[in-house]
Amino acid sequence: MIGHEDKIKLFKRLADNDKLFHAYLFFGEQQVGKFIFARHLANYLERGLFEEPHGILEEVLIISPNEKGTIGIDMAKNLTNFLYQKPVFSKKRTVIIRDAENLTNEAQNAILKIVEESPNSALIILIAQSEDLLLAPLASRLQKIYFSRVALEEISEKLNNFKIEGKKADAKKIKSAVEESFGRPGRAIEIIGGLKSDIKSLKLDDIVENNRIDDFFEFLIIKLRKGNFRDIEAIKEVLKRMSLIKMFNVNKKLQLKTLQKYI
């Protein structure tokens, strides 16, 4: 686990004292560690170790969006059946719902009912980028835990001995990945492992279609801060285009095209 030491201490203490709330919303930007934290917590409850589980956790159910990118009402029955089984290896039966912003309204209403009527042994964790992406009645029933970006020094320290296929990663590659992560450990690991395509090699259509717009802007800002590209006016233009895309229904590809000169 990279970062979030305060939360680790808090949740270990809550678990040890049997004081965990029955339903949480872990929210924050992508790749900051929300899902990893939830898995580590589930492993701690079942095996006493706050780390990535080795093998299958018997008391955990993970729900993710389907091939259409949604989570529908059909998952409610499985969730209910799972939670009402008596736990054997842990005090809790834990449900982790990834990308909860993709729950349909019907599914959210079903989960609301489950949250309100869940047994004492139930632990429900929803993971989303923002609490505003959930229906207000459901969001109001969840205890909210915000996951911020992680200090670059922490990421660098943790990744210092990062290995790829058994070999230690190049120090320069680690340093570059940490800088380009903008405080998101998951992104740093993807870059080091070569799982993240170089933004420079992607076409504008791919950037828009694959939801890499934030990566595009962050790449530009990093580049403009370095060497001969340290240009305050260019950074202002990048931020302006980013605001237009975020706030208004503009042609995203056209806005990105105006910034290609800085790549």
* Residue 36 dihedral angles phi and psi, to the nearest 5°: -60, -45
Q: For 190-226, what is each residue's pLDDT tens digit?
A: 888 765 555 555 676 766 665 667 777 777 766 666 6
Q: Is the pLDDT at 92 greater than 70, yes or no?
A: yes
Q: Which of 93-102, 234-243, 248-257 has the highest mean pLDDT?
A: 93-102
Closest by CA position to 105, among listed 67, 153, 137, 143: 137
The pLDDT value given to residue 60: 97
Give the residue extent of every domain in the chain: 5-146, 150-196, 200-263
- Mean pLDDT is lowest, of 167-176, 213-222, 223-232, for 223-232
The pLDDT value given to residue 208: 63
103 HSE (CA, 13 A, CB side): 29
pLDDT band at 230 (very low <50, low <70, confident <90, very high): low
Q: Is the pLDDT at 228 greater than 70, yes or no?
A: no
* Architecture label for domain 5-146: 3-Layer(aba) Sandwich (3.40)
**Whole-number Cα distances in Å, 96 to 161, 199, 219, 254:** 30, 31, 32, 38
pLDDT band at 149 (very low <50, low <70, confident <90, very high): very high
Q: What's the mean pLDDT in 42-52? A: 96
The reply to whether the predicted model has a pTM over 0.85 is no
pLDDT band at 177 (very low <50, low <70, confident <90, very high): confident
Higher pLDDT, 19 or 191: 19
In this structure, are strands 163-164 and 93-97 parallel, antiparallel, or unpaired? Answer: unpaired
